[in-house]
Structure 1
């Protein structure tokens, strides 16, 4: 089943749609018009700015002089062009010594020059400038000396140290990956869903066409009376929050004495193309709340949403507040945005032209394939997820270590065409939710209507939901907001169990009526603390819960053991 056509769709529109879809398959879903427009905007303004050209020429001369000076008299304690703190390509000690140092510094200097050339150019649309910088960065990543077997000291050491065996193993790794890609299969893993990961004991207590609801078995003699309902994003399998037992947020939460429920979204197929964003709210979040309220009656519920799950949960919470539904005790948002004006690097892929190409592709397929979304995420961190992995796997002969998060990352999901289009347009492009223009059942909702306590978590290096954007929940509500900023990225920062090394967090609370502090001011006023943020959240939930009671019964009828059936759908 394909997306239903608009009543105004003509055969001419269908022709255009088919052309867009075919072009999108060749470009990986990217609009060539948006790309060309960005380059034309930047080149046109740069060509008409002789002063800026002179400034760039002067910088090139200065950088060349600096590189020459560093090559002749290198400072062992500093480099003139240090990499970003998230760039680990030149972390090996050998890169600090000639001749490798000169090659790395030349690359980083070139990268810095081009980024300067695409920045702060008067007249260029900010979105076009960001796209040009992103594309330049992608192109320069491909030319990095770290990718060359004759320029990278790590590759040279691996090849000579194994007498060429590393290259032979790398060739075998490449052949295996190509075979899996052509067959559309995934490599075998010793970690299995339901046995090694997603293995917290529980039962499926509800199922409809959109999700299964898992209730986890109690692990303590008494529990906090208020249950916790977790709403994960539908662009990922839920078990990012239930990986191995030692780093499972769900397992830890149950062990702290909470009755935990979690939504496991179905992996949609093309016949579900017409499911919309409100279906996920009504038949997803609200149906789950109804089920939890039936199993644990007359008790308020702690709602917790991760990523887009937090966004849809916020929409549900604002709708419930508007309609006088008081079943929520609190709202926790994990790396979840309610304002999309600063939605991170994913905005680079989104405008009307891009959306038209995506909609054309989804109209034919009925869904957005998971591998396409995974490709977009990989592009945001190409240094680590593409080039560094390729170097280590194909040129150094390293075999990927099986990690629970890697298994989850490969377990991609699809998205219904209508829902994804609505989400991109109403939230990403038009930012209706925080602007007070998002309607549910024909009536606008407002985040300011939310009066329950909020606990929001942002992660420092999040490319998908920048912490400054997550933080803005405090700008659009006037309730108690506790904000926690943790080290790590979108996934690693959330999966940050107690005992995880090199973790830190900052935390602060704003009471109703307090003046708003901008993100930079908040950061300056809150010192980093070592450790995991999980105990902070656990303590916050306990403070917003009543005295502990006997665990409630498991919901009936039980429809099968956790993790259920939907998580297994590929």
Structure 2
């Protein structure tokens, strides 16, 4: 063998020294992290989990509850699986590159996944095994449908976590990047990962790119009212004339309100104000130990308080309302309570953004609701009286694990890429704490037991409520691809209220289906003027419209109360009977 060629093939001393340093630096980072974590008191949740892990009775119970399979089905599936495996290996031995799957998969976009026999075989083998495991899960017998759905969901998460793209040595893009950067990508990625572990939350965007009041939540306004549970923001008018009937938005308290006010181009708040609407926004307080005893009644009372505050401030008989997600659920309870008390006329209309009142078809989130999960919440929040918002964030991430977990494992931990500035993901990571007493009741009474649709089954502030008594005109907006509040579930509101009602289906999901400004010219929405008894019937006869549904909604709102008035006096924040407390977005959203 040519000695010069051999010399060139051997690693150089400086390369060996560099990789030794990379491994040493990684080890040092890990040891520093472990030392820091060891100095902290382990959580009660972690201690209980560790005790349970070593408890033999726990594993005996798990084995006793193992699902049963049909032997005949298993034999047939095994035969198919082995035949597929045999075909794959025969092709590999013949020097053939396995054919690309007809189904596009963003995880395997690098050219090597298709052009290199080893990586292509790896993908095909993974896909074959993944499909087999999921089909095997679908054959389980002897368990109830919810348990089967939970098993399928768990298997899907295992399959997603096992993808070869998630590991440095089996991802060609990571190998290429490691060679190009001489391992710096792995050190940067390790730094990202350790920081996320310390923070207890996965990072999705540059944490320093956005600041409330500077480049997000910037629509001018003032906080004009405040309670222990919420602040009420009034936005400054931008038109000479405004609709006489004002609008109050109730955003979900499981997230920050500024999803509706991200920036000037995306802001539903700014757009609505520019349409001549006097707009008020509720900014809920993130729970702390002082909110240990807060229950649903307190949120309903807060909505009524906001309605009465705006009516009194502007000297108007009624208001328009919007309820988003969980606050839409609460708005339905508020309307039912006001109807029971003879006060329904205080609300001129109600719009529901991706909200549920009937949880029979509430999607994958329902899989997390059982007695074990409720006990876990008790464990996590035993001392503080509130549930740390990071637990809810992790739950929502798991619903879309491939996009919101493993995608970032690859990009930011393995490839060591910088986090992009993305306002929507910044909002997604800006978690809020939840009062544990109410959160548990919400999961048990609504998600698990579906009591809200049972007349009189739920009592608010001492009064049993019945959704059938709601006669307020409503418009229901749902997202076609919503995985939090599926369209089929949001539709069910139509089955339980008695007043004028209209349903509208928007393209995209729980967030993008709502935050879709007209200028973006994205997605579409569907309407159907006929009365239909189901979502499928609605879709069958629906007319598709390109772009944003916002203009359609504002036309509907104007039909409910077309009268206008001058934008002066109390219509300007701080110039009515309630002086301004502070500038929008207020301090509650910063807590």
Settle same-fold status: TM greater than 0.5: yes
How far the C-alpha of 1:509 sits from its partner, in A, is 4.0
How far the C-alpha of 1:489 sits from its partner, in A, is 2.7
- Deviation per CA, 1:309-347: give whole Å up to 9, x if none: 111111101111222211111111111111112222121
Whether the 8 Å contact between 1:211 and 1:566 is mirrored in structure 2 is yes
Q: Distance in 1 between matches of 2:277 and 2:546?
A: 25
Q: Distance in 1 between matches of 2:547 and 2:60?
A: 46
Aligned length: 533
Q: 1:175 to 1:362 in 2, by over 3 A?
A: closer
Q: How does 1:488-527 map to 2 (within 5 A)?
A: 488-500=508-520, 502-509=522-529, 514-517=531-534, 519-527=535-543
> Is 1:89 matched up with 2:110?
no
How far the C-alpha of 1:353 sits from its partner, in A, is 2.8
Whether the 8 Å contact between 1:41 and 1:124 is mirrored in structure 2 is no
Structure 2 SS opposite 1:244:
coil
**Counterpart among 293, 309, 312 of residue 311 in structure 2:** 293
Whether the 8 Å contact between 2:522 and 2:548 is mirrored in structure 1 is no
- Deviation per CA, 1:37-80: give whole Å up to 9, x if none: 9965773422xx3223223223323543565688777797x726
Bigger drift between 447-456 and 220-229 goes to 447-456
> Is 1:455 matched up with 2:471?
no
Q: Distance in 2 between matches of 1:366 and 1:168?
A: 39
Q: How does 1:365-384 map to 2 (within 5 A)?
A: 365-384=384-403
> Is 1:269 matched up with 2:288?
yes
Q: Name the counterpart of 2:562.
A: 546
> Is 1:190 matched up with 2:216?
no
Bigger drift between 474-483 and 374-383 goes to 474-483
> Is 1:257 matched up with 2:257?
no
Q: Name the counterpart of 2:72.
A: 51
- Deviation per CA, 1:280-333: give whole Å up to 9, x if none: 111x10110011111222342111011101111111011112222111111111
- Deviation per CA, 1:196-234: give whole Å up to 9, x if none: 111110111110111000010001111111111100111
Q: Distance in 1 between matches of 2:243 and 2:116?
A: 61
Whether the 8 Å contact between 1:461 and 1:489 is mirrored in structure 2 is yes
Whether the 8 Å contact between 1:38 and 1:128 is mirrored in structure 2 is no
Structure 1 SS opposite 2:140:
coil
Q: Distance in 2 between matches of 1:180 and 1:356?
A: 24
Q: With structure 1 as the length reference, what TM-score do the two structures score?
A: 0.86
Whether the 8 Å contact between 1:59 and 1:113 is mirrored in structure 2 is no
Q: Distance in 1 between matches of 2:64 and 2:107?
A: 32
Q: How does 1:418-437 map to 2 (within 5 A)?
A: 418-436=437-455, 437=457
Q: Distance in 2 between matches of 1:43 and 1:272?
A: 40
Q: 1:300 to 1:112 in 2, by over 3 A?
A: same
Whether the 8 Å contact between 2:323 and 2:329 is mirrored in structure 1 is yes
Bigger drift between 214-223 and 54-63 goes to 54-63
Q: Distance in 1 between matches of 2:375 and 2:199?
A: 31
Q: Name the counterpart of 1:345.
A: 364
- Deviation per CA, 1:133-159: give whole Å up to 9, x if none: 122122222210111223323324434
How far the C-alpha of 1:411 sits from its partner, in A, is 1.5
The two structures, once aligned, show a CA RMSD in angstroms of: 3.0
Whether the 8 Å contact between 1:235 and 1:413 is mirrored in structure 2 is yes
Q: Distance in 2 between matches of 1:103 and 1:505?
A: 41
How far the C-alpha of 1:545 sits from its partner, in A, is 2.5
Q: Distance in 2 between matches of 1:36 and 1:470?
A: 39
Flag the structure with more relative contact order, 1 or 2, with Cα contacts below 8 A and sequence separation at least 6: 1
How far the C-alpha of 1:161 sits from its partner, in A, is 4.7
Q: 1:113 to 1:480 in 2, by over 3 A?
A: farther
Structure 1 SS opposite 2:565:
coil
Q: Distance in 1 between matches of 2:46 and 2:365?
A: 17
**Counterpart among 102, 115, 121 of residue 102 in structure 1:** 121
Gaps of 5+ in 1: 1-20
Q: 1:66 to 1:179 in 2, by over 3 A?
A: same
Q: How does 1:196-345 map to 2 (within 5 A)?
A: 196-282=215-301, 284-325=302-343, 326-345=345-364
Q: 1:68 to 1:536 in 2, by over 3 A?
A: farther
Whether the 8 Å contact between 1:24 and 1:361 is mirrored in structure 2 is no
Q: Name the counterpart of 1:416.
A: 435
Q: Distance in 1 between matches of 2:221 and 2:84?
A: 61
> Is 1:567 matched up with 2:581?
no
- Deviation per CA, 1:70-98: give whole Å up to 9, x if none: 8777797x726x36xxx632345554444
How far the C-alpha of 1:560 sits from its partner, in A, is 1.1
Q: 1:62 to 1:294 in 2, by over 3 A?
A: farther
Gaps of 5+ in 2: 1-42
Q: 1:67 to 1:452 in 2, by over 3 A?
A: farther
Whether the 8 Å contact between 1:201 and 1:217 is mirrored in structure 2 is yes
Bigger drift between 303-312 and 476-485 goes to 476-485
**Counterpart among 345, 348, 359 of residue 378 in structure 2:** 359
Whether the 8 Å contact between 1:225 and 1:299 is mirrored in structure 2 is no
Q: Distance in 2 between matches of 1:429 and 1:295?
A: 40
Whether the 8 Å contact between 1:458 and 1:484 is mirrored in structure 2 is yes
Structure 2 SS opposite 1:483:
strand
> Is 1:537 matched up with 2:553?
yes
Q: Name the counterpart of 2:414.
A: 395
Q: 1:104 to 1:486 in 2, by over 3 A?
A: farther
Structure 2 SS opposite 1:214:
strand
Whether the 8 Å contact between 2:256 and 2:432 is mirrored in structure 1 is yes
Larger radius of gyration: 2
